Amino acid sequence: MTIKKPPSPLTDATYEPFRKGRILHRIHHIDYGFAEFNPGKGRCTRFAPFYDVSGNSIPSLYATSSLPAAIHETIFHDIIANAKRKRILRQNILDHIHAKLRVKRTLNLVGLRNPSLSKWGIKQTDLIGSSSKLYHETALWAAAIYNNFPQADGLIWTSRQCDPDDAILFFGGRVKATDFELISSRSGDDESFLDDVEREGAIRGIAIIDSLI
């Protein structure tokens, strides 16, 4: 399978303003701050890294509209639905932090949903539902949107892991760390955070284990 490449130029985006005061949930690795953008390091994700027309990597920050979506889109992201044994090491939770954020200004996001994607000739199931093997192709859409719509602050779509909640990617440079206010933060060894992850794991049939042995 391959993903349709974005048309050039890309036109007629559908915008979804993310209003000032709305709440975001972000689960991030302990190596990053609560509103620290990834400069393009680490493994590929669905829409990052991506590049501007000069070949510069654009920093990105992922967040979601709910805590369950944040858990499923990060800690449980790589667990295959039809796996015989669904397990995750407790250390993977301890290496993360849950941050609850408030948006300090309205952010202009491009919606990646049906039916608006149909005008670009691509299905949501292809762009959002494809496997990680195609991330280098889906990231081309983030680049096309960034390069063709200078007023866009990021992308918003229905979480593949936890619908109908939203997953969001913010474009660094256009969005800054100061656009977010930290409401609360919990480390991976916080009992309440562990309880939340275990609760979501139980819904999905995922066991939290201390060792693979």
| Mean of the per-residue pLDDT values of the chain | 94
Q: Which residues of 5-22 are buried (b: 16+ CB within 10 A; e: fewer)?
A: ebeeebeebeebebeeee
CA pair distance 200, 178, nearest whole angstrom: 31
Specify if 164 maps to a domain.
Answer: yes
Whether residue 108 lies inside any domain: the answer is: yes
Mean pLDDT of 61-89: 90
Flag whether 9 is in a domain.
Answer: no
pLDDT tens digits for range 139-162: 999 999 999 999 999 999 999 999
Domains in the chain, number: 1
Q: Flag whether 5 is in a domain.
A: no
Q: Is residue 191 a part of any domain in this protein?
A: yes
Identify the pLDDT of residue 213: 61
Is 34 domain-assigned? yes
**Which residues lie closer than 8 Å to 189 by C-beta, 6 or more apart?**
94
Q: pLDDT exceeding 90 applies to what percent of the chain?
A: 85
Domain contains 92: yes
CATH number at residue 94: 3.90.175
Q: Could you tell me the residue range of the domain that residue 183 belongs to?
A: 15-209
Task: Give the three-state DSSP class for 130.
Answer: coil
Q: 146 and 101 in contact (C-beta within 8 Å)? A: no
Lowest mean per-residue pLDDT among 3-17, 49-63, 80-94, 152-166: 80-94
In a domain, 160, yes or no: yes
Q: With helix as H, strand as E and coil as C, how does 140-194 read?
A: HHHHHHHHHCCCCCEEEEECCCCCCCEEEEEEECCECHHHEEEEEEEECCCHHHH
Residue 64 pLDDT exceeds 90 = yes
**Per-residue confidence (pLDDT) for residue 1, from 0 to 100:** 73
